[in-house]
A and B are shown apart, each in its own frame.
Chain A
């Protein structure tokens, strides 16, 4: 089992519909001027948050995933922000794709970037006709750069020649592939189809085939794109035909599927309104359906004997997995939907899906809270309001008992990290809160005395109210140093001193666990101790206890954090307090409150 790494997840307020409604209704003023009697926060604290509730899965995030809206003064998560695409680019060739191309070409790279249909590794264009004479080793490169090319996977060694696809040119593979069917035969264009029909050899062949089966059943194999084009043409002609209104069934009005107006409405969704015709709307009537392949009719081929016999031959290994099928792009060159690839030997190269750079908006006030530079190459952001620069981070470290009587050595690193917690034996954890903002903040913590869930562990936060210094620069810290160390008396600087001191330094470095006392304090951070009494995971099977669920042995504490600080009235930016220091009278109280979950460790199973 992998070692357990303690974690902290923060809850985004979006999961709580009441919070979101409240902040959206009253907007920023109410959160900027918090009223202690305001019910909003109290409501939250009344009801302990259960990290194991199914809903919590969707609202808990590590701090780095969260954003912060400066106007609403609220945490925003990836689930609630509104995203807007800034740039489309291919993840393989890193070319930006203009959004105009996207509409016409689709959301895949149309250059030569493909993924392997077998293993999804990248495919490389390789020349295949390299058979230089072994005697001509001196001039090997003369022949190697000509002649057909194939896509080859450098990981699983799949090559497009396995599905019979070769390319004439090494570039614009996408366009070449679109014209190729598996096996290397090229797709017929509509023009070629027409010409083929005129060909006497083809007609005789068709007649022969037709006589074998029922003559009316016989039809031409259309690929998807042609079928769609034929159908579209057919329905368009139906719509244009004024006689269609004469047919019966007009009583059904616009509701029937066969009515031109509902069809034109549906078609306009897919074809961008070109079919939408005012006249058609007024006309009521039914249309006949397509009857021929020219009109887009394709009968389902229900004869699967070929596929079955192939399955017998190739076995399970020859079939494509669900994942592989899902990765396959819709192949317009296929005959029809029933011919969807079933075997690995039919899978085609996958053009790379484009990736995007996205900006993010606050769902409530619509302000942009994250905006990357549009250029694909740059990694800079124009706006990046991350929660980590507004709310204190929480780091968890186990604290080990080194002596009796509640005396602890601060060399907590000696505990094996990730070791399971002993049930019913008190364990201590050090929570280090680090303040990212340039103001001193007051933190109030609240935890339920017992963790929710089947196995209730006891939790005691030894110091639930404390202040954290501002995130000033190091110079300020040096000035404040003397007073700070006097007040807390527990300041400990770098561990380098400690290592050298050995036992002698022990006295000064030993902290006492005292209720209401901060364990350690630094420039912009404070460590406090949490005592937990892990529950026993003993199950009484005879009393009908259900077996241990997944992750149920993890000791998770819900913790309500309330941060209060004073900020400039005018300053929108909480962070920029540099100019605000001299105008102390114009300050206002701000507060932010949220739930978070501390995953402390796994409880040893009995």
Chain B
């Protein structure tokens, strides 16, 4: 990996994150990556939309306890053209954004817009999905293509949801847990992509 060409499509960090040069990350200091996460080209992450209620109280010191706007776990895969942005709402009469938290092995399909409050681990979000503000998606959830998840919706573990608005259409079977693993997918992108194992 050290002999990588001087300017590949991706920037590969020490912790194994692969970030496309053509991804748009706004407010990088507020974006936490757990490592081994792939960010494909044309992905947009709005790290600049931080909690404002907290920072307004302690902005003078400049050391707010936590300014993280978007935190992403390990082995996440953000496909081309998806957008992560923290959800915002009125809280006690003032508007504030709240952090978006994402666990490990989360796949976000191309063109999806995610404004969830939290997404668990082993979650598969299909293509062109709109995840509404403050939605909570638990572990082992599959969101099919084109789904619109309304704001504030809670999706419990092992759900398969689809539709506009999203509704439960099935359960993830016992044998389907391994399909959420993204380790192999991680290897297939980057500056030295490996072929997918047969």
A interface, CB within 8 angstroms of B: 63-67, 78, 89, 91-94, 119-122, 124, 140-141, 144, 153-156, 355, 360, 370, 376, 379, 381, 384, 386-388, 395, 397, 432, 494-496, 520, 522, 525, 527
Q: Does B14 contact A (CB under 8 A)?
A: no
Give Cα A91 to B156, complex, Å: 6
Q: Cβ of A432 and Cβ of B198 under 8 Å apart?
A: yes
| Closest B residue, CB atoms, query A132 | B93
Give Cα A64 to B192, complex, Å: 31
A contact residues around B122 at 8 Å (CB):
379
A contact residues around B5 at 8 Å (CB):
none
Q: Cβ of A496 and Cβ of B195 under 8 Å apart?
A: yes
Q: Given A122-B154, A496-B195, are A91 and B168 neighbors across the interface (CB < 8 Å)?
A: yes
- What range describes how many residues of B lie at the interface? 20 to 34
Q: Cβ of B156 and Cβ of A120 under 8 Å apart?
A: no
Q: Cβ of A66 and Cβ of B175 under 8 Å apart?
A: yes
Q: Cβ of B174 and Cβ of A381 under 8 Å apart?
A: yes
Q: Does B157 contact A (CB under 8 A)?
A: yes
Partner of A388, one of B153, B158, B159, B175: B175
Q: Cβ of B93 and Cβ of A144 under 8 Å apart?
A: yes
- The distance from the CB of A183 to the nearest CB of chain B, in whole angstroms, is 27
Give Cα A495 to B187, complex, Å: 13
| Closest B residue, CB atoms, query A493 | B195
Q: Given A63-B175, A141-B92, A388-B178, are A155 and B165 neighbors across the interface (CB < 8 Å)?
A: yes
Report how many A-B pairs have Cβ atoms within 8 Å. 81
Q: Given A379-B140, A395-B198, A494-B194, are A119 and B175 neighbors across the interface (CB < 8 Å)?
A: no
Q: Cβ of A355 and Cβ of B153 under 8 Å apart?
A: no
Q: A144-B93, A379-B158, A494-B194 are in contact. List 20 more A-B contacts (CB 8 A).
A: A64-B173, A66-B175, A91-B154, A91-B156, A92-B154, A94-B138, A94-B156, A120-B165, A121-B150, A140-B93, A153-B150, A154-B152, A155-B132, A155-B151, A360-B174, A370-B174, A379-B138, A379-B139, A495-B195, A496-B192
A contact residues around B65 at 8 Å (CB):
none
Q: Cβ of A154 and Cβ of B150 under 8 Å apart?
A: yes
Give Cα A376 to B120, complex, Å: 14
Q: Cβ of A78 and Cβ of B173 under 8 Å apart?
A: yes
Give Cα A78 to B150, complex, Å: 30
Q: Cβ of B198 and Cβ of A527 under 8 Å apart?
A: yes
| Closest B residue, CB atoms, query A355 | B156
Q: Cβ of B152 and Cβ of A65 under 8 Å apart?
A: no
Main secondary structure of the interface of A (DSSP, over half): mixed
Partner of A525, one of B159, B192, B198: B198
Q: Does B62 contact A (CB under 8 A)?
A: no
Q: Does B1 contact A (CB under 8 A)?
A: no
A contact residues around B93 at 8 Å (CB):
140-141, 144
A contact residues around B175 at 8 Å (CB):
63-67, 386-388
- The distance from the CB of B161 to the nearest CB of chain A, in whole angstroms, is 11
Q: Does B176 contact A (CB under 8 A)?
A: yes
Give Cα A384 to B150, complex, Å: 33
Please encode chain B, from 115 to 149, with 1 for each CB lying within 8 Å of some chain A CB and 0 for all others. Answer: 00000001000000000100000111000000010
- The distance from the CB of A476 to the nearest CB of chain B, in whole angstroms, is 18
Give Cα A144 to B92, complex, Å: 8
B contact residues around A144 at 8 Å (CB):
93
Give Cα A561 to B165, complex, Å: 42
A contact residues around B150 at 8 Å (CB):
121-122, 153-155
A contact residues around B165 at 8 Å (CB):
119-121, 155-156
22 pairs, A vs B, C-beta closer than 8 Å: A64-B174, A64-B179, A65-B175, A65-B176, A91-B155, A91-B168, A93-B154, A121-B153, A121-B165, A140-B93, A154-B132, A155-B150, A155-B165, A156-B165, A376-B156, A386-B175, A388-B178, A395-B198, A495-B194, A496-B192, A522-B198, A527-B198
Q: Cβ of B176 and Cβ of A64 under 8 Å apart?
A: yes
B contact residues around A527 at 8 Å (CB):
198
- The distance from the CB of B170 to the nearest CB of chain A, in whole angstroms, is 10
Give Cα A63 to B177, complex, Å: 12
